[in-house]
């Protein structure tokens, strides 16, 4: 049987580090990258007698995310202690929001995948704290860095039974969710740096079967592509196990994705659910949200990605795919919208953005906000094309040069001598030379091989190093080839 004869079921847990200045329950800096244990205090080190004070901004961020994901807001919403013992949890417990009253619950996210709208239901959006980081020294002992201990972490969990049934949907969900978080300004969305981590739990069952298989949790998916490939790999792997033995029991386990080898491998088996002995956090009162406060949060919601995508299709008449590509990359979408407005040529700008601009950004590994080329530059360049100063081919060179140097299009054209040759005398001489150098082709052209005209156009373009005005070349060739 093909693996596609089995149903794939994917539940998704996403952890997002919140963009707050300080940690969740103390005033330590939440910024990344300080020397080990430089951003710590008695609270985030779990010293006896210290008391947590919740971060108001983090609660606002989670409430706004919950609203953007169409959730109900629980009020009161409470913190709980999740008890477990690892060195990276100095208190012996993590403060989390287990139970029926996370800040947000029963929501959904709509997004487009493969040209169709898809809805994935969200079970909960809640707040917790990050743990420290264990570092295993090759000399045979471990050290712990508590800088991340207590950094606010938002967890977003999809509903069961799962709505995600293909790798495309899994990737589409993570892309859409990331776009929401970045648009809200609550998370920087950097999957490769771990500030957005997604852990799908994946099971496979024969189509029509009533029981779900055991869930396999995947770790270390740090790109959209890895989400896709990891889900696809597990679909095939688990289907093959059932193919070999229809009564197989897939072990419930945690597996790690190896991006280079394109495989998952086992990290640990989960034979029994760990007993966390949750109980309400006695050091904090339940959070009660007033109508006024909720209204205030709702007012802070910006235009969300799906609404923006639909507006862009309407307003700029670009394709749904182009619009989806843009809203998936907020700095790029902002750049695009500014350029579209300045030039009044939204479709033309979309072509430049998804082609040359995106390629250059990806080669340079930067975001649109860090690019030296501005919407103003593109606007000026398109004017030069319209005025006939440069042709389209040269425009590509100009764009790349603007990208690399931040020079204006006029400066680039001048510095590199790229002005289009539209001088009839100059072109005329060039064409005479080309015709004289290719007498056989001319004879064949005169004998009726009309497509050879393109050969001459090409030769003239080559002789002019791409700078000849194409319309004029065509016109002059028509006269001279006779």
Residues of this chain that interact with Zn ion (CB under 5 A) are 26, 28, 41, 43-44
Spatial separation of the C-alpha atoms in residues 33 and 26, rounded to whole Å = 18
- Report yes or no: 186 and 63 within 8 Å, Cβ to Cβ: no
The bridge status of strand 152-158 relative to strand 6-17 is antiparallel
Spatial separation of the C-alpha atoms in residues 406 and 171, rounded to whole Å = 35
Spatial separation of the C-alpha atoms in residues 373 and 395, rounded to whole Å = 13
* Cβ 16 to Zn ion shortest distance, Å: 20
* Cβ 33 to Zn ion shortest distance, Å: 16
* CA separation, residue 7 to residues 125, 166, 203, 242 (Å): 27, 9, 8, 12
* Cβ 41 to Zn ion shortest distance, Å: 3
If the CB atoms of residues 46 and 331 are measured against Zn ion, the closer one turns out to be: 46
| 230 CB burial (10 A radius; 0-12, 13-18, 19+) | buried
* Cβ 39 to Zn ion shortest distance, Å: 7
Q: Bridge-partner residues for 255, per DSSP?
A: 218, 266
* Cβ 25 to Zn ion shortest distance, Å: 8
If the CB atoms of residues 150 and 305 are measured against Zn ion, the closer one turns out to be: 150
If the CB atoms of residues 39 and 101 are measured against Zn ion, the closer one turns out to be: 39
* Cβ 80 to Zn ion shortest distance, Å: 20
Residues 237/241/246/252 CA torsion (nearest 10 deg): -80
* Cβ 193 to Zn ion shortest distance, Å: 22
- Rg (alpha carbons) of the chain, rounded to whole number: 29
CA-based nearest residue to 39, from 130, 140, 170? 130
If the CB atoms of residues 50 and 342 are measured against Zn ion, the closer one turns out to be: 50
Spatial separation of the C-alpha atoms in residues 359 and 325, rounded to whole Å = 13
Pair of tokens at residue 51: 């008391």
If the CB atoms of residues 129 and 169 are measured against Zn ion, the closer one turns out to be: 129
Pair of tokens at residue 102: 């996370």
Q: Bridge-partner residues for 110, per DSSP?
A: 119
If the CB atoms of residues 50 and 254 are measured against Zn ion, the closer one turns out to be: 50
* Cβ 23 to Zn ion shortest distance, Å: 5
Spatial separation of the C-alpha atoms in residues 18 and 64, rounded to whole Å = 12
* Cβ 44 to Zn ion shortest distance, Å: 3
* Cβ 146 to Zn ion shortest distance, Å: 8
Residue 447 neighbours by CB under 8 Å, 6+ apart: none
Spatial separation of the C-alpha atoms in residues 257 and 269, rounded to whole Å = 15
Helix axes 375-386, 392-405, angle to 10 degrees: 160
**Strand, coil or helix: what is 257?**
strand
If the CB atoms of residues 129 and 163 are measured against Zn ion, the closer one turns out to be: 129
Helix (H) or strand (E) holding 254: strand 253-258
């Amino acid at each position: 049987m093909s693996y596609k004869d089995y149903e794939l079921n994917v539940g998704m847990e996403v952890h997002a580090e919140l963009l707050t200045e300080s940690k969740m329950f103390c005033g330590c800096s939440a910024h990344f990258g300080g020397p080990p244990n430089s951003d710590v205090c008695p609270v985030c080190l779990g010293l006896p007698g210290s008391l947590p004070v919740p971060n108001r901004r983090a609660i606002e961020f989670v409430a706004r995310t919950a609203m953007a994901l169409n959730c109900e807001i629980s009020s009161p919403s409470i913190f709980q202690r999740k008890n477990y013992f690892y060195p990276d949890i100095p208190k012996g417990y993590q403060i989390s929001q287990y139970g029926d009253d996370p800040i947000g619950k029963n929501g959904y996210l709509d997004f487009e995948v493969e040209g169709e709208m898809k809805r994935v239901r969200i079970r909960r959006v809640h707040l917790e704290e990050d743990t420290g980081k264990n570092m295993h020294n090759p000399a045979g002992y471990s050290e712990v860095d508590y800088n991340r201990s207590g950094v606010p972490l938002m967890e977003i969990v999809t509903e069961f039974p799962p709505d995600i049934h293909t790798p495309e949907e899994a990737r589409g969900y993570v892309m859409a969710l990331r776009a929401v978080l970045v648009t809200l300004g609550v998370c920087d969305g950097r999957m490769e740096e771990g500030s957005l981590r997604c852990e799908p739990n994946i099971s496979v069952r024969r189509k029509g079967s009533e029981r779900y298989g055991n869930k396999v949790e995947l770790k270390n998916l740090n790109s959209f592509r890895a989400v896709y490939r990891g889900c696809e790999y597990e679909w095939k792997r688990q289907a093959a196990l059932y193919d070999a033995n229809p009564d197989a029991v897939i072990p419930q386990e945690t597996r790690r994705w190896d991006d280079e080898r394109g495989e998952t491998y086992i990290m640990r088996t989960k034979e029994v659910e760990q007993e966390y002995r949750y109980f309400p956090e006695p050091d904090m009162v339940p959070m009660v949200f007033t109508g006024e406060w909720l209204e205030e949060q709702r007012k802070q919601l910006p235009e969300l990605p799906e609404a923006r995508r639909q507006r862009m299709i309407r307003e700029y008449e670009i394709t749904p795919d182009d619009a989806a590509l843009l809203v998936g990359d907020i700095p790029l979408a902002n750049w695009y919208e500014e350029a579209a407005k300045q030039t009044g040529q939204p479709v033309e700008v979309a072509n430049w953005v998804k082609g040359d601009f995106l390629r250059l950004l990806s080669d340079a590994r930067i975001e649109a906000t860090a690019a030296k080329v501005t919407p103003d530059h593109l606007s000026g360049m398109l004017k030069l094309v319209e005025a006939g100063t440069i042709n389209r081919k040269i425009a590509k060179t100009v764009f790349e040069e603007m990208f690399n140097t931040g020079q204006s299009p006029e400066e680039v054209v001048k510095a590199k001598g790229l002005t289009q040759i539209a001088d009839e005398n100059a072109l005329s001489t060039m064409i005479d030379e080309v015709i004289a150098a290719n007498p056989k082709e001319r004879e064949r052209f005169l004998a009726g091989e009309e497509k050879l005209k393109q050969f001459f156009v090409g030769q003239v373009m080559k002789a002019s190093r791409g700078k000849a005005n194409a319309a004029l070349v065509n016109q002059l060739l028509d006269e001279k080839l006779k």
